[in-house]
Structure 1
């Protein structure tokens, strides 16, 4: 067994380039996994700076603006948009969330009344005791959820302080990262292994794909949210902003997110309109919007992304989401693409045998 492991290690890690890439990946994994809470503002600043680099270069190259002026214009526009979003969207979103929570008891009672009619209409399929047992268990879960929501609201007061600190630190770090980009990159590369040609190859392959993915995913969220909001407003559905934002955010979790967010959309539509034609129109419009997103919008926005199998995407979401929560879900596809790029770039057994000889 030991000899087999030794031979495998010799075949896979004889190349110093492979060792350098493995060391970089291991260091990044340890730093993010164990210190993600401490360096969260830094990671957010890096991601946002990476996104803003494209419009900054566009202004500098297209209109011959000094880089510092391009940074001020782009970063100022980004901060202004974020403030408008925070003070214009969040109050309405919070208000609709509170209204939905206050309506949950009535919705639950209506669902209970409807379910208790099923044993009378379909006694061969539904048992009254079974339905009552399900609703009793569900009621206890809702009460437990209410208690946890109260605790969360109390702890959110402390989180507001953290958000305030982030709101100051992140734009400040973004400014210096964009302003002193080359200097910071040169300083960082001094701590990397000398044998990093393979790592540079993987990074060059991933750089364009990561940027396209992040920009494309943000555009997808915005478009899906806007289209869904217009559809819900057209049919007069309650809580249109809350539900449309939930539908937009659900695109972060491919396949699974669309299924999960369909439940609250269908429930709210059912309790508002009942078994009426409007309910079915909303469901049909929602399904059509999801089909257009998956078959038209996603191929257009991610035409340059690496093609991954759906099972690979789902497994990536589960693994990276379990490791890093929301950000793991958001970057599940780029991380899966990174793993694929590393596997493809890793020296083959024949290449390593040549190096060893």
Structure 2
């Protein structure tokens, strides 16, 4: 018979469990940066492993020396990438001092009047639409220096994260065998082979995924660079590189890249002689970038990612979108790797489940 004391004890136990769960989730939220660093370090480790194996097998390096050399090589690449920003920042800072917002406003008004005249020739009255939208007065060009200042602020806080990721990555790579042996000891014997096989499969698929991601960004970089060179945009190489790199954020990255290239293209045409061409060149570059993104979204991305992680493009789209709704931009970035891990584990432990069978038939 259930007594009031038993019910009270059950309520207290449930409250305590909920409190512990809440505190655990709160603790995880407070140290979320640590999990981000661990995740980035894991990605760098996956990318660095083939390079380390090359140094060990071909150049006969000791394991620790190979790890140090590989990380030094990656660090030099990162420093080279950051140094590419220096001429860009210097150029755009100089251009900002030459910005004539009044003339820019006049140019925009001129373009609006030309568009209005064009549509009126086809008996399309745009006066009311223009008046209601109030386009020319609603655009505030002071967002340009504010955007640049925000970008510099983000870059200035990059140091602690970089040092943390390098430190964690070093020990991930250096003590791989030690971690593997220690991990084997805590695995239950009946599931040891399944877990180890899952880890090997995940490692293989994620390596293919990140190689595919690099290939996708390389294709975008070439297309962006061609567009920028055709229209004579200053610092075309670094702008193409940065905007292609932003594609690591699915769906949102291309939008950020488009805004960034618009800003930098406009800044590159500031001055008494070039400012008249600012709007037309920016529009042409915007069209070129849009075409490149259409090609990437409909050709490159589905082919590369569906083959690299053996998932249907619709699966990828739904997973990225759902993860973005729940966890934001970070969720969109890690959506495909996490989904791949879940699929591999599900196939290994629940191979007879009908849903798992359908989702993992190509793994």
TM-score, with structure 1 as normaliser: 0.66
* Distance in 1 (alpha carbons) for counterparts of 2:298 and 2:59: 36
Whether contact under 8 Å (2:306, 2:313) holds in the other structure is no
Q: Deviations over 1:239-288 (max 9, x none)?
A: 52464135413533556655775577689599737769x97699569736
1:308 equivalenced with 2:312 (yes/no) = yes
Q: Say if 1:67 and 1:293 are closer, same or farther in 2 by CA, change over 3 A.
A: farther
Whether contact under 8 Å (2:258, 2:286) holds in the other structure is no
Whether contact under 8 Å (2:105, 2:136) holds in the other structure is no
Single out whichever of 222-231 and 40-49 deviates more from structure 2.
222-231
Q: CA deviation at 1:55?
A: 0.9
Greater C-alpha Rg: 2
Q: Residues 125-136 of structure 1: matches in 2 within 5 Å?
A: 125-135=124-134
Whether contact under 8 Å (1:59, 1:65) holds in the other structure is yes
* SS of corresponding position for 1:306: coil
Q: Which residue of 2 aligns with 1:328?
A: 331
Q: Which residue of 2 aligns with 1:272?
A: 277
Q: CA deviation at 1:180?
A: 1.4
* SS of corresponding position for 1:37: helix
Q: Deviations over 1:47-100 (max 9, x none)?
A: 21222112112222334332122112212211222222222x121343466578
Aligned residues: 316
Q: CA deviation at 1:121?
A: 3.7
1:111 equivalenced with 2:114 (yes/no) = no
* Distance in 2 (alpha carbons) for counterparts of 1:253 and 1:166: 19
What is the CA RMSD across the aligned residues, in angstroms? 4.6
2:167 to 165, 172, 197: 172
Q: CA deviation at 1:336?
A: 3.1
Single out whichever of 248-257 and 329-338 deviates more from structure 2.
248-257
Q: Say if 1:262 and 1:179 are closer, same or farther in 2 by CA, change over 3 A.
A: closer
Q: CA deviation at 1:325?
A: 4.6
Whether contact under 8 Å (2:220, 2:296) holds in the other structure is no
Q: Deviations over 1:174-218 (max 9, x none)?
A: 222221122234445656666645544443332211012113313
* Distance in 1 (alpha carbons) for counterparts of 2:242 and 2:65: 37
1:47 to 32, 43, 46: 43
* SS of corresponding position for 1:245: helix
Q: Residues 1-357 of structure 1: matches in 2 within 5 Å?
A: 35-87=31-83, 89-95=84-90, 98=93, 105=101, 109-123=106-120, 124-135=123-134, 139=138, 149=147, 152=150, 156=153, 160=156, 162-188=157-183, 196-197=191-192, 198-226=194-222, 228-238=224-234, 240-241=236-237, 243-253=239-249, 257-258=253-254, 261=257, 268=265, 272=277, 283=287, 287=291, 291=295, 295=299, 299=303, 303-310=307-314, 312-345=315-348, 346-348=350-352
Tell me: higher relative CO, structure 1 or 2? Use CA pairs within 8 A at least 6 residues apart.
1
Whether contact under 8 Å (1:316, 1:333) holds in the other structure is yes
Unpaired segments of 5 or more residues in structure 2? 1-24, 270-275, 355-363
* Distance in 2 (alpha carbons) for counterparts of 1:127 and 1:181: 66
* Distance in 2 (alpha carbons) for counterparts of 1:109 and 1:342: 61
* SS of corresponding position for 1:236: coil
Unpaired segments of 5 or more residues in structure 1? 1-28, 351-357
Whether contact under 8 Å (2:46, 2:207) holds in the other structure is yes
